[in-house]
Amino acid sequence: MPYKVLISDSLSKEAVEILQKEKEFSVDVNTKLTPEQLKDTIKNYDALVVRSSTKVTKDIISAADRLKIVGRAGVGLDNVDVAAASKKGVIVVNTPAGNTISTAEHAFTMMLALSRNIPQADLSMKKGEWERKKFMGHELYGKVLGIVGLGRIGTEMAKRALAFGMKVLAYDPYLSMERAKELGIEPAELEALFRNADYITVHTPLTDQTNHLISDKQLEMMKKGVRLINCARGGIIDEAALVKAIEAGKVAGAALDVYEEEPPKKESPLLKTDKVVLTPHLGASTEEAQTNVAIEVANTVRDALLTGCVRNAINIPCLDPEVCKVIDPYLKLAEKMGSMQAQLVEGHIKKVKIRYVGDILKYDLSPFTLSIIKGMLTPILQETVNFVNSMVIAKERGITIVETKTADVQDFANLIIVEVETDKMKSSITGTLFTKVDPRIVKIDESYVDAVPEGYMLVASNKDVPGIIGQIGTILGKAGVNIAGMSFGRESKGGKAVSILNIDSSVSKDVLDQIRKAPNIYGIKLIKV
């Protein structure tokens, strides 16, 4: 029986032909299915290929008895329930590299248009005007470009900027000095980048950490006359703060392809100033990019079904139900530990040392290591990192990964220890499973704890004195934040201690600052796992 493939969104002719020419495949293209029709139809298919229109919901996945893989032609996965797919044993793949050049070229084009007033001059000419003095521009040569996020697109921006004779500063939590030297750029802390760049372009996903990454405070510390470019995600730049800074003369101009609300409302101030260059989310809108992502997903789905070789997998479900049942809790623990470390440490990650202890050694440990590294990279890189490319991305950033094993059981039958070294500090987290399914963090640095890695967590470094939890709880209570659980540990009586609180919701920066300023608190971090 041939593999049945359903393409439910429009793909390029070249991509469809890749699948149709395989004699082992039966390919149907139906781009007009309603959700109910898809739910009734999907039970007959081994693979589903989508763009962004089709919503691959939990109900649809539950009805997919034969489904082995969902291929998304694009990066974002808002339209695919990855958790439901993983539980069902369905592989989900995307195409994180397909629109790299397209987006980088668009961002660079926006920077040039902003510098030379191209849209405004074009509009003036079409009105029959000839106003050369009005549109005096600025050269890129010799200017400082600050790049926030040095992934694929940020790296391509850096290459183009260097070719134009610009100096490039880059901020990326995973960027090593060695990698920076290799690219010919200078790594910088975020504040230093803001203070020294003439142009700033952002290339990060939108997360809790990057939402309004550039707002009033950051704009205030920038150079007078700075210019900003955002072709990444709407919301990274606070639009209201940007408009105020432009009106005040602090910011000379901005070029935006993405917005906090898409499309922007007609009354948006962004639409009423000639100091902002705007395009309607065109970063990936080139014929080449659309063809590339379609071809990439077609090749990925084909190879996964025919050879078992999976590229760009967002999840790596274990298709053997018995093995999956045993190792899945470890994979979740490993990914959560990596995520925690990424959010707890400060500085650029240089080295990750992973130690496995006890009975866990009887399993293939490579999926656990992949889970840790994926978890560590995801808070910053989001959907651009997956189980397949995580090790490659870590290597590109100059991160050394060392894996060691010991069968000598210590305090627990199984332990995973993740030690991270940055250019500023060293940190260690130890995790295990209780009752073989419940993940626990049992040690942070030298302090033994019993913490559940779930949801929002506050991790405080404090002096071991009475009243710490009381003062934190009072601040949270006034802010309407409920504490769901807590754990404490200390290195020695009266010495350095750690307090971990599970909370029901996120907290504002103001609340974190209040806790940070409380007596005997050394530091506080809000993390989400």
Active site residues: 233, 262, 281
Phi-psi region of 465 (alpha: psi -120 to 50; beta: other; left: phi over 0): beta
Q: Are 42 and 81 in contact (CB under 8 A)?
A: no
Token digits for 296?
Answer: 């990439």
- Measuring CA to CA, which residue among 283, 280, 286, 279 is closest to residue 232? 283
Token digits for 8?
Answer: 């439910």
**Buried/exposed code over 96-109 (b: 16+ C-beta within 10 A; e: otherwise):** bbbbbbbbbbbbbb
Say how far apart CA 97 and CA 478 lie, in whole Å. 46
Q: What is the dihedral of CA 501, 506, 509, 513, to 10 degrees?
A: -20
Residue pointed to by tokens 């803001």: 194
Q: Please, what sign has the CA dihedral across residues 159, 160, 164, 170? A: negative
Q: Are 145 and 198 in contact (CB under 8 A)?
A: yes
- E strands in 30-125: 47-50, 69-72, 91-93
- Measuring CA to CA, which residue among 457, 453, 464, 468 is closest to residue 515? 468
Q: Which amino acid is at 436?
A: K
- E strands in 130-190: 144-148, 167-171, 186-187
DSSP, collapsed to helix, strand or coil, labels residue 338 as helix
DSSP, collapsed to helix, strand or coil, labels residue 267 as coil
Q: Which amino acid is at 56?
A: V
- Tell me how far the alpha carbon of residue 264 is from its chain's centroid: 24
Q: Are 335 and 39 in contact (CB under 8 A)?
A: no
Residue pointed to by tokens 């209570």: 477
Angle at 378 (CA atoms; ends 372, 383), nearest 5 degrees: 125
Say how far apart CA 124 and CA 62 lie, in whole Å. 57
